[in-house]
Chains A and B, each alone.
Chain A
Amino acid sequence: MSSTADHIIEADKLTKRFGDFTAVDAISFKVKKGEIFGFLGANGAGKTTAIRMLIGLSRPTEGEATVAGFDVYRQADKIKENIGYMSQKFSLYEDLTVRENIRFYGGIYGLSRKKIKEQTGRIIEEVGLENSAGNLVGSLPLGWKQRLAFAVSMVHSPSIVFLDEPTGGVDPAARRQFWEMIYQASAAGRTVFVTTHYMDEAEYCDRVSIMVSGKIEALGSPAKLKEDFSASSIDEVFVQLARGGAVISD
């Protein structure tokens, strides 16, 4: 692979089968450094399985993939060191304070005491939690929790962050604040790989891919996809693809 320098994720015919069910069917795509990449798909389209392979939690059945230059088969441990991961389920400890959470995750990634202190200060400032750094995370509004979780997922300065439905349930203003953080991370050269159910959010991404029944059926910038499908929104593109595709979800 010649272009490793520009691409942080390269997947080539990546496949995962469970018995005779093919959850992910030979997907190939590349994600550029610093890109905001939207990974869309209906429930059960194979998104989660694909992400689990990319972050080294699940071994592919076939195909190749590298993440941050590491092979998903042989260097899963290296991948885990070099990525950040945040999902709706994986969240912070509600019964620890903001500071304690940051310290804990910093510790997990083996940051030095000095580095943790530095990061704690930076994150608290970035998320705007100066006045609540000693408060329990459980007492924060959801929007703040999500932004804090995002910042904490980058505590070890990974070159790429995976966000699995990061903005569920918050108000439009909080969602926008979250996306501003994504823009900021991207502007700083970090790659952001994000899944979402909000189709309008897909339009914030530099490029999106749409998975249907284990295959990537569309990939490109939101503007390009809308043009290709003569649709006025990504939502419409998505519905066209999913309805036209094989039976949905079940």
Chain B
Amino acid sequence: MPDIAIQNINHNYGSVHALQNLSFEVGKGELFGLIGPDGAGKSTLFRILTTLLVPTSGSASVAGFDVVKDYRQIRRRVGYMPGKFSLYQDLSVEENLQFFATIFGTTIQENYHLIEDIYVQLAPFKNRRAGNLSGGMKQKLALCCALIHEPEVLFLDEPTTGVDAVSRREFWEMLQRLKAQGITILVSTPYMDEASLCERVALIQEGKILSINSPAAMVKSFDKPLWAVKSDRIYQLLLDLRTFDLAERVEPFGEYLHIVGRPGISQKTILDFLKNKNHEGIKIQPAQPTIEHVFLELA
């Protein structure tokens, strides 16, 4: 039985359709990623699943309980880390953790095994006010607070937004360890590169799911020719390639521009086209698709 089951969920804020007919399931112990930009509806879905919001229509269950009828049951069983840092900034690290342990009717000692890995990093700052922690440390504290009552399902809404690359990496390593302990995790992120760290992901935009699959299968499904190109005048290159018949789309990708090609595109056809436009320093190579390519293709 899946730990999270969502069937035809819709949510409207006034005339805005924040979620449109969402359906998917997350298995027990799965690390599932919800990938999409701000305003895609990720937070709305999280608020529905954590029983803070009643959906306009559709049904969902978490840990076997209905989000509308059995919301009290769900509230004991889930851990929630909202998108915005939501701890008491004027309380110290330890006081925050103590408080959340108490309101869930437990103690830090009782579930220390769950947070130990994370808490040892926080321990040197345990008397520091939460508001004075760095972004990465704040996220770790928030995760500890969400874990302290040993939840069955963990909801993490954009835990890595605004956190630097090193802290992000550490955070994901922690999630892998939690998954290993059998906790079901639904995590959302706007960073496409984090998708590959999940078992399965759903790409979501404007309240609709574009695709659900394992990251590998998703990348594999991208079957159009993909070329990376650069020259000395990158902006001119972009403008020129947009007029290229054999290019379906041209987008900046790092130091290169990526061309999603039409049938017939090859290194030679691209090179000929660019020489014609008087480009210098031309470099052309085949490129490997990523989740980001899939997203751009579907969006």
Contacts and interface: CB of A to CB of B under 8 A. Distances in A.
B236 A187 contact: yes
Interface residues of A, number: 38
B292 A222 contact: no
A238 B165 contact: yes
B125 A42 contact: no
A63 interface: no
Contacts of B36: 171
Nearest to A245: B166
A43 B164 contact: yes
A92 to B, nearest CB: 16
B52 interface: no
Interface stretch (B2-10, B104-112, B250-258): B250-258
B252 A176 contact: yes
A19 interface: no
A203 B254 contact: yes
B89 interface: no
A43 B163 contact: yes
A177 B36 CA distance: 17
B159 to A, nearest CB: 14
B137 A250 contact: yes
Interface stretch (B66-74, B95-103, B190-198, B211-219): B190-198
Nearest to A202: B254
B295 interface: yes
B21 interface: no
Given A42-B165, A249-B136, A249-B167, A141 B299 contact: no
Contacts of B38: 142, 169-170
Contacts of A168: 161-162, 190
Contacts of A204: 252, 254-255
A179 B250 CA distance: 13
Contacts of A194: none
Interface in B239-281: 251-252, 254-255
Given A141-B39, A169-B37, A173-B296, A248 B166 contact: yes
Contacts of B137: 249-250
B234 interface: yes
A51 interface: no
A183 B234 contact: yes
B297 to A, nearest CB: 10
B235 A184 contact: yes
B191 A242 contact: no
Contacts of B165: 42, 197, 199, 235, 238-239, 242
Contacts of B135: 43, 249
Contacts of B37: 142, 169-172, 174
A94 interface: no
A180 to B, nearest CB: 6
B252 A249 contact: no
Contacts of A227: none
A142 B233 CA distance: 29
Interface centre among A176, A203, A222, by most chain B C-beta atoms within 10 angstroms, is A176
Contacts of B234: 183, 187
Contacts of B191: 198
A121 interface: no
Interface in A56-111: none
Contacts of A197: 162-165
Interface centre among B125, B205, B254, by most chain A C-beta atoms within 10 angstroms, is B254
A28 interface: no
B166 A42 contact: yes
Interface in A5-49: 41-45
A243 interface: yes
B224 interface: no
Interface centre among B161, B166, B234, by most chain A C-beta atoms within 10 angstroms, is B166
A199 B164 CA distance: 9
B161 A223 contact: no
B46 to A, nearest CB: 15
Nearest to B38: A169
Contacts of A222: 254-255
B113 interface: no
A186 interface: yes
A180 B236 CA distance: 11
B141 to A, nearest CB: 12
A200 interface: yes
19 contacts: A43-B135, A43-B136, A43-B167, A168-B161, A169-B161, A170-B190, A171-B40, A172-B292, A172-B299, A173-B296, A176-B296, A179-B252, A180-B252, A183-B252, A186-B235, A203-B255, A204-B252, A249-B134, A250-B125
Given A42-B165, A248-B167, A250-B137, 14 more contacts: A43-B135, A45-B164, A142-B38, A168-B190, A169-B38, A170-B190, A171-B205, A179-B252, A183-B238, A197-B165, A222-B255, A238-B166, A243-B166, A248-B136
